[in-house]
Amino acid sequence: MKDSVWQDVQLKTYPALTENKETDVLVIGGGICGILCAYYLSFHHKVILVEADRIAGKRTGKTTAVITALQDIFYKDIAKSKGKYVASAYLQANLDAIESYGKLAEEFDFDFVRVSSYKYFSEEEKLNEELNCIQTLGYPATRVKNAIAFSNQAQMHPLKLIAHLLDSFEIYENTKITAIQNQTAYTSQYAIKAKYIIVATGYPFLKLKGMFPLKLTQKKSYVAVISHSNEQEYNAIGSHPGDLYFRTYKDTMLIGANDQATGKPKKNYVNLIEYIEKKYPNHSILYQWVNQDCVSLDGFPYIGHYGTARNLYVATGFNLWGMTGSMIAAKLLTDIIENRKTSYKALFQPKRFMPLLPLCKNISTVLCNFFKIKKRCSHLGCALYYNKEEGVYECPCHGTKYSSKGEIIFNPAQKNIDIKK
């Protein structure tokens, strides 16, 4: 069984870095976020992008590729904790991201389709509260049965889009950056000097810089794809963390479930497979995979300066909404680097105030797992847990995942581990 429905597209391969380089912009990370950043900045700058493995070989290759402003986070919660202005700005930032993809679709064919997004509820009161808040923010959301509906949202084939963008800038695969100092990024052998550097590696890899180990966790999500004759294209999520989510793609349906923190295996594929067997007993599973993403403390991505360095930037914490968040990051960082005014800079800047409760939970998780006698993560030394259903080792502190041989599957760790020890 293939790992992903998007594997019908074979991307070009690129050489590893074999000499020192100098450029205007260096983008570190070859997922959709890094590629979009490199593409937009290449209009007016010389850009180099480096990827430690293969382009789109990690999170982007296993996304559901939904592009929507109707997400897990509740707008009523944003309005309550941050104010209606911030809630409205966050909504508009996501709507703008959809329009940016729409403009790309005018030039490139990547199976971009406009669809309706739905968020379904089991509690009438919560549905009405959220719908009323969204409408108060000025967006014409509607109710369809037990769900809130956003029209004119979107979905796409991510690798088809990436394939169109790769000729716009210089690329090096199998090129792992290990350090950044004084606007120069270093591999084990070579250096790339740049006026601006963007770190778009999923989880930022510079250990303690920017205090991201305290501000990020990682969540996994399980996906299965079945053959399905769809009457309409759409995507949908539930209002509870354990609810199933859906999106259509041509003659298939992607069904996901069980968003959960790394290092705490719970159910995994179990109820997802049970649902498919009950609801679609005659539909075989064509693909299935598990993906993971960085989760911020307040539900907003971190986009902006990486620590105190003047021209070093970061984009992370997309909270399992990487397609929409990546476009927000690419457009925002392009505006910042090119000195254009943007109303979203303060909204996503990484140094913003962090809510105390989730921050304390992150610190508690680190402390609890640091003292347990188990195999250790090579990132900051937290105890690893073996997930027998997937055959992997997982770090509950910062989300590194290792294969059964000790090879890194998801960062932030930079070194493999010796399983035999």
Tally of CB atoms within 10 A around 55: 25
Alpha carbon distance 330, 97 (integer Å): 9
pLDDT of residue 259: 83
Cβ atoms of residues 289 and 281 within 8 Å:
no
- DSSP-derived letter for residue 95 is H
pLDDT of residue 404: 87
Q: Which helix (H) or strand (E) holds 324?
A: helix 322-337
Alpha carbon distance 92, 131 (integer Å): 16
* Average pLDDT for runs of 10 along the chain of length 421: 81 97 98 98 98 94 96 96 96 98 98 98 97 97 98 98 97 97 96 98 90 90 92 94 92 90 77 91 90 93 92 96 98 97 93 82 75 81 86 88 90 87 64
State the pTM of this model.
0.94
β-sheet bridge partners, residue 116:
234
> β-strands 47-50, 170-172: how paired?
parallel
Q: How would you classify residue 289: left for phi > 0, otherwise alpha for psi between -120 and 50, otherwise beta?
A: beta
Measured in residues, the chain has a length of 421
Write the class of the CATH domain 356-410: mainly beta
Half-sphere exposure of 360 (CA within 13 A, CB side): 3
Alpha carbon distance 324, 156 (integer Å): 11
Q: Give every strand in the sheet of 408-410, ordered side by side.
A: 385-387, 392-394, 401-402, 408-410
Residue 82's alpha-carbon distances to 89, 268, 347, in angstroms, are: 11, 34, 10
pLDDT tens per residue across span 207-242? 888 889 889 999 999 999 999 988 899 999 999 987
Tally of CB atoms within 10 A around 3: 13
> β-strands 113-120, 285-296: how paired?
unpaired
Residue 411's alpha-carbon distances to 37, 80, 203, 278, in angstroms, are: 20, 34, 6, 36
Q: Which helix (H) or strand (E) holds 369?
A: helix 356-370
Residue 176's alpha-carbon distances to 47, 53, 400, in angstroms, are: 17, 8, 16
Q: Strands, DSSP E only, in 4-141?
A: 21-28, 47-50, 66-67, 113-120
pLDDT tens per residue across span 130-166? 999 999 999 999 999 999 999 999 999 999 999 999 9
Residue the block writes with tokens 């966050």: 90
Alpha carbon distance 297, 293 (integer Å): 13
Task: Show me where the domains of the chain are located.
Answer: 356-410
Alpha carbon distance 307, 201 (integer Å): 16
The DSSP line for 132-191 is HHHHHTT---EEETTEEEEEEEEE--HHHHHHHHGGGSEEESS----EEETTEEE-SS-E
